[in-house]
């Protein structure tokens, strides 16, 4: 519970720019790696639930296990960066496969 309260306080105080920088860098690496893996292995419907389950387990562990504030912030930026936008590639692949490319822009905007 203390970890959750620390995260709320950190967001209210506006996170330092380094935290946002690392989250962005991990986002970029995750989107490219998941996108390249989906290009090789076409299991888009299995990839999305796996990413969401890993994200939920990691965030529950971060919030439930007591940490030092610096370690908590580091783990939060790592998990958030890697798993936040990693679902974008499988989601766009599933939308394109189910409805086609003609309506993908409209539906992808609604889904994401």
Per-residue pLDDT, 92: 79
Of the chain, the percentage scoring pLDDT greater than 90 comes to 0
* Residue 95 · residue 107 · CB < 8 Å: yes
* Residue 48 · residue 94 · CB < 8 Å: yes
Q: Across residues 3-29, what is the average pLDDT?
A: 68
Q: Residue 73 — φ and ψ, nearest 5°?
A: -65, -40
Over 60: is that where the pLDDT of 34 sits?
A: yes
Mean pLDDT, the chain, as a whole number?
76
pLDDT in tens, 67-84: 777 777 777 778 877 888
State how far the alpha carbon of 23 is from the alpha carbons of 26, 76, 83, 106, in Å: 5, 9, 10, 28
Return the biggest CA–CA distance within the chain: 50
pTM greater than the 0.95 cutoff: no
């Amino acid at each position: 519970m203390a970890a959750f309260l620390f995260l709320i306080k950190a967001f209210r105080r506006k996170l330092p720019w380094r935290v946002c920088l690392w989250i962005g860098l991990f986002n970029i690496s995750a989107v490219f790696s998941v996108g390249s893996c989906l290009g090789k292995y076409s299991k888009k419907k299995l990839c999305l639930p796996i990413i969401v389950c890993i994200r939920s387990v990691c965030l529950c562990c971060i919030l439930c296990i007591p940490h030092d504030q610096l370690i908590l912030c580091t783990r939060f930026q790592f998990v958030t960066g890697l798993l936040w936008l990693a679902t974008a590639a499988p989601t766009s692949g599933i939308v394109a496969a189910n409805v086609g490319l003609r309506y993908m822009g409209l539906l992808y905007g609604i889904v994401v």
